[in-house]
Structure 1
Amino acid sequence: SSIITSEFATTKWRGAMMAAVFAMQGIGQLVAALVMMFLTLGFKSSLEQAADTKSCTGDCQIAVDKMWRTLVGFGAVPACIALYYRLTIPETPRYTFDVARDVEQADEDVKAYINGKSEGNTDEVTRAQNLQSAKTNLEVPKASWRDFFQHYSKWKNASLLLGTAGSWFCLDVAFYGLSLNNGTILKVIGYSTKDATNVYEFLHNTAVGNIIIVLAGAVPGYWVSVATIDTLGRKTIQLGGFIILTILFI
């Protein structure tokens, strides 16, 4: 979880650790393409029997059915591992204090983390008393739509929201828009699916082409950002990314 990472990380390495969390997207894209390529190679003889996807019946159809199920299954493995650790990892002291209102546990957790332990031990009686007191004295009123409009009616707050959401929107349009050009890029580098003579070549070209694209852009781009985000700064890297995307689109 990026939130847990940001709350646990020191200010010195917070940027790198947050970027590393998102850099796993590139690793995931690469692994998915590699698994697809190996599956295609494994079912090569069955896939070569069909000239195109419309005529993919019999052994070819069974092979494709096994391939997509295996691919989805491989994708579920890291997700299940991540889910296990997300459910078992202790909450950050910030969450325990601000959200759960468990002041006693938060204080003990801070002391534990400083000493290299995963979670602090508290006196349950004292903890229960403090929790009851916190519910009475530290209860925060629930937010309403009126509070929302009142808060963002001020330009200072509205500009912050628009700037954050707007920059993300522009980035996503450019970032995901590039995938629309994948067919053109694959054709230029010699991995066009239009020239495929059978289903095997179609899937093989798609997998290898995706590997090349991911290795040429996503993986190095993510990890260069991880290495430089705390030195160049967030704004510099984002502005540089916008400039590069603008050049690519032109």
Structure 2
Amino acid sequence: MSSNLGAPDRPNPFEHLDRLKLTWTHIKIWYLSGAGFFTDAYDLFVIGAVLTVLSAYAVPGFEELHGPNAAYWSGLLGSAALWATIAGQLLFGFLGDRLGRKYLYGVEAAILTFGALLSAVAPNLLWLIAARVFLGFGIGGDYPISATIMSEYSNVRDRGKLVALVFANQGLGILASVGVALASIALLPPELAWRVMLGVGAIPAATVIYLRRRIPETPRFALLVKGDVEEARKAAKLFGADIQTPARVEGLSLRQFLSDNWKVLLGTTVPWFLMDIALYGTGVYSGAVVASIMGPASDIFKQIFYQSVPFLVGFPGYFVAAFLLDKLGRKPIQGLGFAAMAAIYLAVSTIIVAAGKSVELLAPAAATLALYSLSYFFINFGPNTTTFVLPAEVYPTRYRTTGHGISAAAGKLGAAISTLFFPTLLATIGVSHLLQLLALVSLLGIPFTVFMLPEPKLASLEIVSGEHKYIRAY
């Protein structure tokens, strides 16, 4: 990468940081960022198992989940955290660019901790819904801040890998939710099992609150937004690096940012919105989709195990993506993921249509489940990872957490809509037609990926975002 961003008065003050090899400090920041995402995913996906328990057993205080409006209340509980996540993403994204990344880091982890504890002690459904709303606000705050901190500290060669590995903790969190759910159901009475599932989410978040509060401001924000050369150099020294040339950004107003980036905003928001429609609808209500393929399970333990199979198959996708992002690029991986999702949804819907209620008439149930589960591999290998990585790279420093927050909020809007209406659609149009709709949703993500986004592979953040045009030396 050139030491110059295009003109003599447009230096690259972060050349030393960009050229670094991977260091232990990178790994430390990855851990602090990733622990939050582990918790985010655990909290968002464990609610599926909690719904299964509360719907299967007559737990006092949760009678609404067994009444004539059970689908409505199930959708409301399943989506409660997601609606609040949207608000958290927007607010923390905005504040992250106004107050700084460091100022907010750790606040969201504290909210996650208390939200999980409040959920675990809920005496009734309305309390639990309210606690999930509070929890969701913290989940939302974690998205733009963690992604941006990891991106702004990363070297160019490993940036895609590092940001993707932060997000890969989502997979670990989902697996943990499966493991805790199965263990709780096997070892505890149902009226206690669901509380343990929810309460465990407080543990990983609580472990990083203090360390997150101690992390220094990123060199990019310190220099280009705050104009504090010494703070930027202090942060760079953590990596054994230095700020090459003191510089500042001139003329990048909000109006100019929107004028320069409206296509990019569409490119980061629409694919995330579409992807989360597929991911969260089929994820939170995995039990209903899998039951339509495998038939009803003989007991609740088997039911939760079967509905966990897609998550297990999808898990390696996070790490395959992390390994290939800096080699193949973000856009090819995202486009391939959307195309594979569409193909698999159509194939499974065809099997179910042709076979009627008995899937085995056309294909063995286990084979059909395996095919359906592959959609999770390509979601995680493709847009689930890339829609998180791209917004942390394609926006200028002054608006990076805002851009990521808007993009993530668009995703969670899709997730909330899908989670809210999925039970009703499943009951009215059936799983086959629902999968056909998801195939169409997946295909729509491809043109926005191809035509609206730059490719950040092996390029500095300043070049990718166009910020280099506004950088001037002191």
Q: TM-score w.r.t. structure 2 length?
A: 0.37
Structure 1's 37 and 223: CA in aligned 2 closer, same or farther, altered over 3 A? same
Within the alignment, does 1:157 sit opposite 2:302 as a pair? no
CA contact (8 A) 2:175 2:311 kept: yes
Identity rate of aligned residues, in percent?
Answer: 32
Higher relative contact order (CA 8 A, sep 6+): 1
* Cα distance between partner residues in 2 of 1:210 and 1:181: 5
2:302 aligned to which of 205, 224, 227: 205
Within the alignment, does 1:184 sit opposite 2:283 as a pair? no
CA-CA distance at 1:169 after TM superposition: 1.8
Letter aligned with residue 313 of structure 2: A
- Once the two structures are superposed, the pairs formed by residues 44-63 of structure 1 within 5 Å of their partners are 63=189
* Cα distance between partner residues in 2 of 1:151 and 1:2: 20
* Cα distance between partner residues in 2 of 1:72 and 1:171: 26
CA-CA distance at 1:172 after TM superposition: 1.9
The residue aligned with 1:106 is 232
CA contact (8 A) 1:16 1:227 kept: yes
Within the alignment, does 1:229 sit opposite 2:325 as a pair? yes
CA-CA distance at 1:170 after TM superposition: 2.1
Structure 1's 12 and 228: CA in aligned 2 closer, same or farther, altered over 3 A? same
CA contact (8 A) 2:216 2:235 kept: no
Can you give the 5+ residue segments of structure 2 that lack an aligned partner in the other structure? 1-145, 243-247, 347-474
CA-CA distance at 1:195 after TM superposition: 4.3
CA-CA distance at 1:83 after TM superposition: 2.7
Within the alignment, does 1:29 sit opposite 2:174 as a pair? yes
CA deviations 1:89-140 (Å, max 9, x no partner) are: 2222222223443322222332342169xxxxxxxxxxxxxxxxxxxxx899
* Cα distance between partner residues in 2 of 1:112 and 1:223: 27
SS in 2 for 1:114: coil
Within the alignment, does 1:83 sit opposite 2:209 as a pair? yes
CA contact (8 A) 2:287 2:303 kept: no
Letter aligned with residue 288 of structure 2: G
The residue aligned with 1:174 is 278
Structure 1's 230 and 182: CA in aligned 2 closer, same or farther, altered over 3 A? farther
* Cα distance between partner residues in 2 of 1:108 and 1:96: 10
TM-align CA RMSD = 2.9
Letter aligned with residue 164 of structure 1: T
Can you give the 5+ residue segments of structure 1 that lack an aligned partner in the other structure? 44-62, 117-137
Larger radius of gyration: 1
Within the alignment, does 1:94 sit opposite 2:220 as a pair? yes
